[in-house]
């Protein structure tokens, strides 16, 4: 998620969260980059279909990094995408990357823990209720992202992939296979 946001630092980014859910606790095991900008319905449908066909994990939510540095809450596009993922079995989560902490983390100053904020449903049935968020092995994740950022690793999303054969890598991402997590 952090590399997706760093690759498109002047745009909002969106993606799918994969993982598992047990007793109301969602564990995110993978994140799949979908778009840099507002995703269209066909793009989302294609991405969901391809991810479901290629992954053994369950879709557990949506992630976004806002376009504006000062934004820390989910925007209407991310709220709509997350609400559309709701099924009878899993209540999805929405993760919003926090641009300030992300910038510090990429610069080697901060920790991965402050970069992500998860949101669940509030009383108005919107995904605006902050929920507890933790990054497993935060220092290791921070180092891997910082290393990739220093090496100018670019993460292509589905929007790039659909532009043609020069954009062959999407999911699973070959750019991420070299990271030492």
**Which whole-number Å values give the CA distances from 134 to 11, 61, 101, in the listed order?**
25, 16, 14
Question: Is residue 51 scored above 70 in pLDDT?
Answer: yes
Question: Is residue 32 scored above 80 in pLDDT?
Answer: yes
Tell me which residue of 86, 116, 88, 85 sits closest to 102, measured CA to CA: 116
Residue 163 pLDDT grade (very low, low, confident, very high; cuts 50, 70, 90): confident
Q: Would you tell me the crossing angle of helices 99-106 and 138-150 to the nearest 10 degrees? A: 70
| DSSP-assigned letters across all residues of 27-45 | EEEEEEEEEESSPPHHHHH
Question: What average pLDDT does the chain have?
Answer: 86
The lowest-confidence range among 71-75, 84-88, 172-176 is 172-176
How far from the centroid of its chain's Cα atoms is residue 76's Cα?
Answer: 16
Predicted pLDDT at 95: 95
Domain ranges of the chain: 2-176
Question: Is residue 128 scored above 90 in pLDDT?
Answer: no
Question: Is residue 181 scored above 60 in pLDDT?
Answer: no
Q: What is the mean predicted confidence (pLDDT) over 6-32? A: 91
Predicted pLDDT at 42: 92
Q: What is the mean predicted confidence (pLDDT) over 127-150? A: 85
Predicted pLDDT at 80: 92
Distance CA 101, CA 98 (A): 6
Predicted pLDDT at 149: 84
Predicted pLDDT at 89: 76
List Cβ neighbours of 127 (8 Å cut-off, separation of 6 or more). 74, 78, 79, 82, 83, 92, 93, 94, 119, 120, 121
The widest CA-to-CA distance across the chain, in whole angstroms, is 46
Q: What is the mean predicted confidence (pLDDT) over 56-74? A: 90
Tell me which residue of 6, 140, 157, 11 sits closest to 75, measured CA to CA: 11
CATH architecture of the domain covering 2-176: 3-Layer(aba) Sandwich (3.40)
Residue 65 pLDDT grade (very low, low, confident, very high; cuts 50, 70, 90): very high
Tell me which residue of 73, 92, 88, 72 sits closest to 15, measured CA to CA: 92
Cα end-to-end distance, the chain, whole Å: 14
């Amino acid at each position: 998620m952090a590399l997706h946001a760093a690759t498109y630092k002047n745009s909002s980014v969106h993606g799918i969260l994969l993982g598992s859910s047990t007793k109301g606790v969602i564990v995110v095991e993978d994140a799949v980059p979908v778009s840099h900008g507002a995703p269209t319905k066909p793009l989302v449908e294609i991405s969901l279909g391809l991810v479901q066909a290629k992954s053994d994990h369950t879709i557990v939510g949506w992630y976004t990094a806002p376009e504006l540095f000062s934004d820390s809450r989910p925007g209407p596009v991310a709220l709509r995408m997350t609400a559309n993922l709701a099924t009878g079995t899993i209540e999805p989560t929405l993760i919003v990357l926090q641009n300030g902490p992300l910038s510090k983390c990429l610069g080697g100053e901060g920790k991965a823990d402050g970069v992500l904020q998860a949101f669940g449903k509030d009383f108005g049935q919107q995904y605006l209720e902050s929920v507890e968020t933790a990054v497993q092995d935060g220092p290791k994740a921070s180092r891997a992202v910082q290393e990739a950022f220093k090496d100018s690793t670019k993460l292509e999303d589905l929007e790039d992939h659909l532009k043609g054969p020069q954009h062959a890598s999407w999911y699973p991402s070959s750019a991420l296979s070299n990271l030492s997590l």
